[in-house]
């Protein structure tokens, strides 16, 4: 993970100092911001590999910062929250965060989450059987570039939205339970619950479906889970 650029945003300078020191031990390049406006400006002016973003910030909240970052970047965002409040976690995901960590946290957990997300962001080696492009109808997934397109237009998926769609497209018609998706995409040690999956599926549909309430690609099998099927191409209903 050497050379990766990380932006750490928190108004508690001791926390920032501790995170910065620990990440720099792994040869990461760390920038720091202490309020929402400063964070947004830095995210605009420099490309980062990942952003650690506290929820409770002066000037702009972490939610507002994340929402505005999503207007111009798909950089992975991990929200830091002092609250064990589930609503904060769900809100963070709604605004486009990829993950969240509740304070007080162990710095080793922070580093493990960062490394897990960065590993997933690295281009995958593709073979003849699982080539770098997946296509179905108007939907195209560039696995090497980690981009998704609808009718030739990029639709700005976050890292986790991309991974969910990639898994479903690689296994059409296979129904994945929410628990299974959580384990496969977020990892077995992820402390969140299955609502995380529901939020990401809804956001994914809003980006790739013409009518999210009547999806063409990502379908729900009620009481079981989610699956991929281009029903227009196959002439069948979800």
pLDDT digits (tens, 9 = 90+) for 204-227: 999 988 888 889 999 999 888 999
| Best CATH choice for the domain 5-121 from the list 3.40.50.2300, 1.10.3720.10, 3.10.20.600, 3.60.15.10 | 3.40.50.2300
For residue 114, what are the contacts with CB-CB under 8 A and spacing of at least 6?
Answer: 1, 6, 23, 50, 52, 78
pLDDT tens, position by position, 85-140: 667 777 777 788 888 888 888 888 888 888 888 877 665 544 434 458 888 888 88
Q: What is the DSSP string of 75-144?
A: --EEEEES---HHHHHHHHHTT-SEEEESS--HHHHHHHHHHHHHHHSPPP--STT-SEEEETTEEEETT
Asked, as a colleague might, if the bond just before 104 is cis with ω within 30 of 0, I would say: yes
pLDDT at 157 over 90: no
* Structural domain boundaries in the chain: 5-121, 133-234
pTM: 0.66
pLDDT band at 176 (very low <50, low <70, confident <90, very high): very high
Q: Any idea which of 78-87, 147-156, 210-219 has the lowest mean pLDDT? A: 78-87
Q: What are phi and psi of 30, to 5 degrees?
A: -115, 125
pLDDT tops 50 at residue 60: yes
Q: Does 5-121 match 133-234 in CATH topology?
A: no
Q: Which CATH number fits domain 133-234: 1.20.1430.10, 3.30.110.60, 3.90.79.10, 1.10.10.10?
A: 1.10.10.10
Whole-angstrom Cα distance, residue 220 to residue 214? Answer: 10
């Amino acid at each position: 993970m050497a050379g990766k650029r990380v932006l750490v945003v928190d108004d508690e300078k001791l926390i920032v100092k501790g995170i910065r020191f620990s990440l720099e031990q792994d040869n990461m390049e760390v920038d720091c911001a202490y309020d929402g406006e400063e964070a947004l400006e830095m995210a605009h002016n420099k490309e980062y590999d990942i952003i650690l973003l506290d929820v409770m910030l002066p000037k702009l909240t972490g939610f507002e910062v994340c929402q505005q970052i999503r207007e111009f970047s798909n950089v992975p965002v991990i929200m830091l929250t002092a609250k064990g409040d589930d609503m904060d976690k769900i809100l963070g995901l709604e605004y486009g965060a990829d993950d969240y960590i509740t304070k007080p946290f162990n710095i080793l957990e922070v580093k493990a989450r960062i490394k897990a997300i960065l590993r997933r962001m690295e281009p995958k080696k593709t073979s003849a059987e699982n080539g770098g492009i997946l296509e179905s109808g108007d939907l195209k997934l560039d696995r090497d570039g980690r981009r998704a397109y609808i009718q030739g237009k990029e639709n700005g998926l976050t890292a986790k939205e991309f991974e969910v769609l990639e898994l479903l497209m690689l296994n059409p018609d296979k129904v994945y339970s929410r628990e299974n998706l959580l384990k496969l995409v977020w990892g077995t040690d992820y402390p969140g619950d299955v609502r995380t999956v529901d939020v990401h599926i809804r956001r994914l549909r809003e980006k790739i479906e013409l009518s999210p309430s009547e999806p063409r690609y990502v379908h729900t099998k009620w009481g079981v889970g989610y699956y991929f099927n281009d029903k227009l191409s196959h002439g069948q209903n979800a």
